[in-house]
Amino acid sequence: MERVSKVQCTVGESPTWSAAEGAWYWVDIPARRVWRLDASTGAARYWDNAEMVACVAAKAGGGLIAGMETGIFSLALGADQNAVALKLATPASDLGEGMRFNDGRCDRQGRFWSGTMFMDMSAAKAVGQLYRYDARGISAPFVSELLTQNGTAFSPDGRTMYLSDSHPQRRMVWAFDYDIADGVPTNRRVFADMTAEAGRPDGAAVDAEGCYWVCGNDGGYIARFTPQGKLDRRVEVPMLKPSMCAFGGKDLDTLLVTSIVSGKPEDAEWGGSVVMLRPGVKGVAETPFGA
């Protein structure tokens, strides 16, 4: 396991691999920053934003698409330290005070999926919703009454969509049948019930064998579930609160994991760090938005 530079994020999230650039991206939500790591040189740099960036995905042709506080944005990352954000869409139901987008990624066809949440998790407000954004604009919500939307991922063939709710009161992962032509999820069912686990199901990724890797936030591990929802592996990480993982690197055999500062003394060294590990399986290439 390798630590990425001396980067420490308050709430590190949304790692994604850009094959076109040979680079990793991730965000630090409260810092309003987007980070980039050049895989060939190991150089890391960041861009600041006017509002919090919760999730990002690469865009075909360059730049990023992002779920932020007030909507879906296109981000241009220039030579200076500030990103240029262009708002693309806002949900028809206003995000409202205390809300923002959270986890997100593109499906295998290049549509962007992201959900909203009420930022004060202690309030336990089930007002989060899941949206799709593509050339047609932003959709009506496909899933509602979420506490903390997370874990969005797609099977290698794109025909299964995964979604988690990482709130302490939910700790659930669902699977959906996914229409790859229309981008519509149906037949929601429980995929993994983690209510009895030490960790909460946060951000996730899918490997080339179709297994679902989900970060056990508060548990210090990443769990691998088979396509049938069976837990078959657990990888311990040095951070108490791993937040999301993504496959990447030249051969898609590297798993990059972000984390959140817990504030606990035993987590002081590693909390908020970004690490890379080789889990022995390969991932699936992410489709850029708009591809």
pLDDT at 234: 97
Does the annotation list 202 as a binding residue? yes
Q: How far apart are CA 241 and CA 35, in angstroms?
A: 19
In a domain, 263, yes or no: no
Please state the domain count of the chain: 1
Count of all residues that appear for the chain in the document:
291
In a domain, 21, yes or no: yes
Q: For residue 178, give its domain range.
A: 10-206
Tokens coding 159: 């025909």
Q: DSSP 3-state assignment of 245? A: strand
Question: 207 Cβ partners below 8 Å, 6+ apart?
Answer: 213, 224, 247, 279, 281, 282, 283, 284
Does the annotation list 193 as a binding residue? no
The arithmetic mean of pLDDT across residues 41-58, rounded, is 97
Task: With cut-offs at 50, 70 and 90, classify the pLDDT of residue 96.
Answer: confident
In a domain, 226, yes or no: no
Note the pTM of the prediction, 2 decimals: 0.97
Task: For 127-162, write each residue's pLDDT tens digit.
Answer: 999 999 999 999 999 999 999 999 999 999 999 999
In a domain, 70, yes or no: yes
Task: For 74-93, write each residue's pLDDT tens digit.
Answer: 999 988 999 999 999 999 88
List, by residue number, the catalytic residues.
202
Does the annotation list 107 as a binding residue? no
In a domain, 177, yes or no: yes
pLDDT at 6: 85
pLDDT at 178: 98
Report the CATH number that the domain containing residue 21 is assigned in CATH.
Answer: 2.120.10.30
Residue 201 predicted with pLDDT over 90: yes
Does the annotation list 49 as a binding residue? no
Does the annotation list 217 as a binding residue? no
